[in-house]
Structure 1
């Protein structure tokens, strides 16, 4: 009979199947005498040994949970703690919010005891109270949460995987972004000039005329705008009370300001100078809220836009549709795909193509070449 590995003992070995180094720590035995282990796979032996040493130290201090007793709530907190070092704060908040729908029902259950029927019951209950989109995001986040536990061999299967969501009729289709028609854009721009709140009016103009995201627009400071050279640099975003880096490295970009928008920015700067009795300082938010230490509230531009389009009789329009309109009209007027991707701050032109393929398809239909006609036309003499 083979010798049992004692609690807190571990080993590392090369796993041929995954072609990675496996670190394995024994944390005891279940009531059937079956060994309980935690495992993790790494690119190098050194990484595997470092992980093993860390887990063994936690185990001997009593800080490593027994996999058989680890609850979904405890695992979720561990997972979110790891994610906090990898993702943006706003994304982490979204993860917490989405898991928050599930934890009241599943959080107390041992991770290894969760079954597909538990997940099915949870999603069915949520579907009675929340939108399909919300339930879909909850399922997606639970799947990722349990998948990591599966990869670390804490559980033997992912209980979320076999549970599928099927949207009810009329649900599950996200509202497609729409592009303003030329006459709608003209009416909106004219209305912004007479809007009572200069801050939201100019912010909405920048989104439509320069393709800025809401957070990028609210995150602007006067040091980011060069009125002499006519450029604007996106360096940060501001969303729901938090300042952060732009969405991707390519989102950090310097953009030329269209002439009409530049003139309005100069007038806006002069307006602030009159109020402050001096030029706006470089570190001041371009669109400050009622508390000057913070920009406008994140949803303020959207609320203003809804009121304006309702008054103009324009069909429902979301703030993001302004950015979408900018990209659509750029492409429709012959701007190269790579330039549009650069202006919008997309990581690559493939993203731009996937979003605006409908625009490009429409443009392609106009390019019809009849070779028969070309061949029968008289050739010009040299």
Structure 2
């Protein structure tokens, strides 16, 4: 069996003979004239040479596995990506792709298998996460495609779902108080207080160490975030920042210091095993969801503790937009205004309408 296909506007022959596949570049551009030439002349000639032994295909090419191209992909990204992005790629490959496909010859994987695998992630994760996972696997197939190990990328035939536009949804002050007081575990009360009163991302909160906190100056330094069990640098240079410890937060941090004083760990928040959390997933999926159910509150993202801090700071009128942006680690104030302006009472109402403009 033989077929003709195009890649990068060049024609290739794909021939199966005695259970083996041979790919032959023709060097010809993909157009109607050359397709006719290849089909009527070149292809029959190559088939004849194979059948008469003039072209030896007895030694089968070494198969290349998904693991091989996954490592190739990661090596190509190592020097280009920030630690946080690389760690996420690496974790998705190790946990979501390799367990099922790692030892498979990448050319043996059928589109139906990819669809079944992808549909599982679509049904069990958010649309944004499932798309991200699919894009990583697609990038691995691209490495194989460029290496001519596969004829096409199966992900070119899979439709991704639209990303959900969830957006910020801050808690009001009373609900914030209810959540902190309603937490059963003392450490979780302290964790929520830190999140509400500093606006730290969940990964930044679990990556916080006692050396980052200065009780005398009432400031803490954000130097890292934790993802997939590793300390990585913040998303942007602005992510490295000093955040004030407001008086309301101070007793919660001192309480947490007392809780962990016997621990050998340098991290502020520890799991039940006395080790730092790998990331915020366990806190979100177990402790946070359990608390919302207990208080009979509709589900909201744990990340909205951050948006609650932003709107609380802006609505207070005590801080400039630039100061709040710095506390949040935003790269610019436009991002802050875009995300949170709709939750802040209009400043127009405070204007003196009697001012004489002329």
TM-score range, shorter chain: 0.5 to 0.7
Counterpart selection for 1:159 from 144, 153, 163: 153
Structure with more contact order per residue of length (Cα contacts < 8 Å, sep ≥ 6): 2
Structure 1 equivalent of residue 270 of structure 2 = 288
Contact 1:84/1:92, CA 8 A, preserved across alignment: no
Listed as ranges, the gaps of 5+ residues in structure 1 are: 1-29, 36-65
Report the equivalent of 2:221.
Answer: 233
**TM-score, L = length of structure 2:** 0.65
Unaligned runs of 5+ in 2: 1-21, 28-59
Superposed displacement of residue 231, structure 1: 0.4
1:199 shift after superposition: 1.7
Deviation for aligned residue 1:263: 2.9
Deviation string for 1:24-52 (max 9, x for gaps)?
xxxxxx775758xxxxxxxxxxxxxxxxx
Offset at residue 182 of structure 1 (A): 2.6
Residues 1:178 and 2:162 aligned together: no
Flag the 1:135–1:223 CA change in 2: closer, same or farther, 3 A. closer
The corresponding residue for 1:17 is: none
- Going from structure 1 to structure 2, the CA distance change for 1:326 and 1:164 (only over 3 Å counts) comes to same
Which of 287, 291, 308 pairs up with 2:291?
Answer: 308
Q: Residue 247 in 1 paired to residue 230 in 2? A: no
Relative to structure 1, the CA distance from residue 146 to residue 378 in structure 2 (aligned partners, 3 Å threshold; closer, same or farther) is closer
Secondary structure of the residue aligned to 1:243 is strand
Distance in 2 (CA, whole Å) between partners of 1:257 and 1:249 is 21
Q: What SS does the aligned partner of 1:367 have?
A: helix
Give 1:344's aligned residue: 328
> TM-score, normalising length from structure 1?
0.61
Name the SS of the counterpart of 2:292 in structure 1.
helix
Q: Is the 8 A contact 1:142 1:160 kept in 2?
A: no
Q: Distance in 2 between matches of 1:328 and 1:216?
A: 19
Aligned pair partner of 1:108 in 102, 105, 108: 105
Alpha-carbon offset, residue 240 of structure 1: 4.2
Q: Output the CA distance in 2 between the equivalents of 1:364 and 1:184.
A: 19
For residues 182 and 319 of structure 1, do their structure 2 counterparts lie closer, same or farther at Cα, with a shift above 3 Å needed? same
How many pairs align? 294
Which residues in structure 2 correspond to 1:204-219 (within 5 Å)? 204-219=192-207
Residue 41 of structure 1 is matched in structure 2 by none
